[in-house]
Amino acid sequence: MSAMRASTEPWAIDVRGLNKRFGDKHVVNDLTLQVGRGEIFGFLGPNGSGKTTSIRIMCGLLTPDSGSGTCLGYDILRQSGEIKRRVGYMTQRFSFWEDLSIRENLDFVARMYGMAERRSAVDRAIDGLGLGGRAAQLAGSLSGGWKQRLALAACMLHRPELLLLDEPTAGVDPGARRDFWEELHALAARGISVLVSTHYMDEAERCHKLAYIAYGRLMAQGTADEIIAGQNLATWEVSGGAGLGAVAERLRGRPAIDQVAAFGSALHVTGRDPAALEAALREAVAGTDCRARPAPTGLEDVFIHLTERSVDNFGPKASS
């Protein structure tokens, strides 16, 4: 398939029925996913849910046991080399040389890509991500936020059409996370597609679309609003004084209650039967100084709900 033909494909990622096992563990279970061009697509799920394995399959680093699909118009089974040349992949761990400077690290990566105009590519990456003032600084002395910028700059050296980012902001302070997401939206506006895995709900809400995967299975996908609406959850907030813990204990395990989760100094209580949920709450707060009121269901409520109902493919699900 020619590069011209690949570039006209409507989907950056279009995979169907992907499966991958490691021994007895079914890590990716019948995954079907589509990511549009210029779209920021969020990949959510608990640790060990198969997100990283799925990402590696989609960029040609792993071969699935079964299934098919394309990435940037190239077949993920037969044309992994073409995919790798057009994708930027940012791993969870900082994987650069700490005793080299930012510029030296980027120059080394450019050499690995076999880039003919390394110096201009490195200069472009440094300038594009505001690294100019630190270009001579050793990577090992950088803060988490600056290491993240270096990793993103390395991903962008060869001008990829798609970025695959595996929990790129883990351990990074809120300000650096915000700046990073501003960069991602700027890249998307230029037509670059982004698939990013994250545990942060504020980041998930910045994505154009989302997919939730738990222990190998895709459980929901769509916009944040579509995923929230699709779970049909009613949510109430319980707030008050010292009696909050007692109210939580009264609610847990009742048929009308799907989950009880602490949100700051309040509880979020969800269920699928609004009338039964309200009756249970009225009874639970009676005689206490707590009060219950309806609240909008948020993405985090849905995230907790889906996690509670997922089954660990190592055996019984660990407590959340």
pLDDT digits (tens, 9 = 90+) for 103-113: 999 999 888 88
pLDDT in tens, 177-229: 888 899 899 999 999 999 999 888 889 999 999 999 988 899 999 999 999 99
Burial class of residue 160 (count of CB atoms within 10 Å of its CB; 0-12, 13-18, 19+)? buried
Chain mean pLDDT for the chain: 87
Domain 3-227 has CATH 3.10.180.10: no
Mean pLDDT calculated for residue range 138-154: 86
Encoding tokens for residue 164?
Answer: 């695959």
| pLDDT value, residue 318 | 40
Question: Structural domain boundaries of the chain?
Answer: 3-227, 232-296
- Top CATH class of 232-296 equals alpha beta
Q: Where are the alpha helices (DSSP H) in 190-243?
A: 201-204, 224-230
Sorting pLDDT into bands at 50, 70 and 90, what band is 1? very low
| Spatial separation of the C-alpha atoms in residues 215 and 283, rounded to whole Å | 36
Q: What is the dihedral of CA 287, 288, 294, 298, to 10 degrees?
A: -140
Convert the pLDDT of each residue in 29-71 to its tens digit: 999 999 999 999 999 988 888 888 998 898 888 999 999 999 9
Helix axes 118-128, 102-113, angle to 10 degrees: 130
Query: Over the stretch 7-32, which tens digit does the pLDDT of each residue have?
Result: 556 899 999 999 999 999 999 999 99
pTM of the model: 0.84
DSSP 8-class letter at 263: E
Are 17 and 30 a contacting pair, CB within 8 Å? yes
Q: Is the pLDDT of residue 313 over 60?
A: no
Q: Tokens 């190239």 appear where?
A: 74
